[in-house]
Amino acid sequence: MTAAGPSFDRATALRTAGVFVFTAIALLPIGATIMLSLRPRPGGEPALISLQNFRHVFETSLVLDWLGNSLMVSLFTVVAAIIVSAPAGYVISRGRHKVIEGYSLLLFIVQSLPIITAVIPLFILFARLGLADHLGALVIIYVAGSLSVATWMMAAYFDSIPAALEEAAWIDGCSVFGGFVRIVLRNSLPGVLSTAIFTFLLSWNDYLVAIVFLKSDDSFTLPIGLQSFFQQTSTDWGAVMAVSVITMMPPVILFALLNRYFSVGGIGGSLSSQ
Amino acid sequence: MSDRTDPLDVVRAAQGRSGGASRPRTDWSASRGRLFLVLIAPSVLLLALLNAYPVAYAALQSVRNGTLITAGEFVGLANFAKVLQSPDFWHAVRFTAIFTISGVAGSWLIGMALALALQARIHFGGVFKVLLLLPWVVPIVVSSMAWNWLVATPDSPMPALARFLGFGTPLFLADPVLAAVTVCVFKIWCSFPFMMLMMSAALSAIDRSVYEASSLDGASARQQLFYITLPLTRRTTYISWILMTIFCINDFPTIYLLTAGGPIDATTSLIVLAYRLVFQNFQTGPGVAVALMMTAAMVVVSMVLFRQIRKSGATA
pLDDT digits (tens, 9 = 90+) for A133-163: 889 899 999 999 889 888 888 888 888 788 8
In contact, A149 and A267? CB cutoff 8 Å: yes
B 32-51 near A (Cβ less than 8 A): 32-33, 35-36, 38-40, 42-44, 46-47, 49-51
Q: What is the ipTM of this complex?
A: 0.84
pLDDT digits (tens, 9 = 90+) for B24-60: 444 446 677 788 888 888 999 988 888 888 888 888 8
Say how far residue B125 (Cα) sits from the centre of its chain. Answer: 26
CB-CB under 8 Å, A85 with B51: no
Q: For residue B210, what pLDDT band results from cuts at 50, 70 and 90? A: confident
d(CA A19, CA B284): 48
CB-CB under 8 Å, B118 with A19: yes
Q: How many residues make up chain B in this entry?
A: 316
Beta bridge partners of B74: B64
pTM check: above 0.90: no
In contact, B133 and A259? CB cutoff 8 Å: yes
Whether residue B263 is preceded by a cis peptide bond, meaning omega within 30 degrees of 0, is yes
CB-CB under 8 Å, A22 with B17: no
Q: Taking CA atoms, what residue in A is nearest to B218?
A: A2
Cα→Cα distances B236→A88, A121, B12, B308, Å: 25, 35, 10, 13
pLDDT score recorded for residue B29: 63
In contact, B301 and A112? CB cutoff 8 Å: yes
B 167-206 near A (Cβ less than 8 A): 189-194, 197-198, 201
CB-CB under 8 Å, B12 with A156: yes
* DSSP conformation class of A259: G
For testing contact with chain A, the best of B12, B27, B36 (most A CBs within 10 A)? B36
In contact, A76 and A206? CB cutoff 8 Å: no
Query: Is the predicted pLDDT of residue B13 greater than 70, yes or no?
Result: no
Residues near B211 by beta carbon (within 8 Å), at least 6 away in sequence? A1, A2, B224, B228
pLDDT score recorded for residue A265: 37
Query: Is the predicted pLDDT of residue A72 greater than 70, yes or no?
Result: yes
pLDDT digits (tens, 9 = 90+) for A27-62: 999 999 999 999 888 877 778 888 888 998 898 889
List own/partner pairs for B56-62 with CB under 8 A and 24 or more apart.
B57/A121, B57/A124, B57/A125, B58/A117, B58/A120, B58/A121, B58/B288, B58/B291, B58/B292, B58/B295, B59/B292, B61/A120, B61/A121, B61/B284, B61/B285, B61/B288, B62/B285, B62/B288, B62/B289, B62/B292
In contact, A138 and A203? CB cutoff 8 Å: yes
% of chain B with per-residue pLDDT over 90? 26
In contact, A114 and B250? CB cutoff 8 Å: yes
DSSP track, A136-175: HHHHHHHHHHHHHHHHHHHHHHHHTS-HHHHHHHHHTT--
In contact, A88 and A156? CB cutoff 8 Å: no
Domain B86-282 carries which CATH code? 1.10.3720.10
Q: For residue A121, what pLDDT band results from cuts at 50, 70 and 90? A: confident
pLDDT score recorded for residue A242: 93
Q: For residue B193, what pLDDT band results from cuts at 50, 70 and 90? A: very high
CB-CB under 8 Å, B23 with A93: yes
pLDDT score recorded for residue A65: 93
- Widest CA span in chain B: 76
Angle subtended at Cα A250 by Cα A246 and Cα A251, rounded to the nearest 5 degrees: 120
pLDDT score recorded for residue B196: 92
Phi, psi of B186 (to 5 degrees): -60, -40
DSSP track, B249-289: HT--HHHHHHHTT-STTTT--HHHHHHIIIIIS--HHHHHH
Q: Which of A191-200, A224-233, B16-25, B305-314 has the lowest mean pLDDT?
A: B16-25
Q: Taking CA atoms, what residue in B is nearest to A239?
A: B145
Query: Is the predicted pLDDT of residue A78 greater than 90, yes or no?
Result: yes
Per CB-CB distance under 8 Å, the chain B contacts of A191 are: 5
Spatial CA neighbour of B32 closest among A261, A174, A175: A175
Enumerate the domain spans of chain B: 86-282
pLDDT digits (tens, 9 = 90+) for B72-126: 778 878 888 888 888 999 999 999 999 999 999 999 999 999 999 998 888 888 8
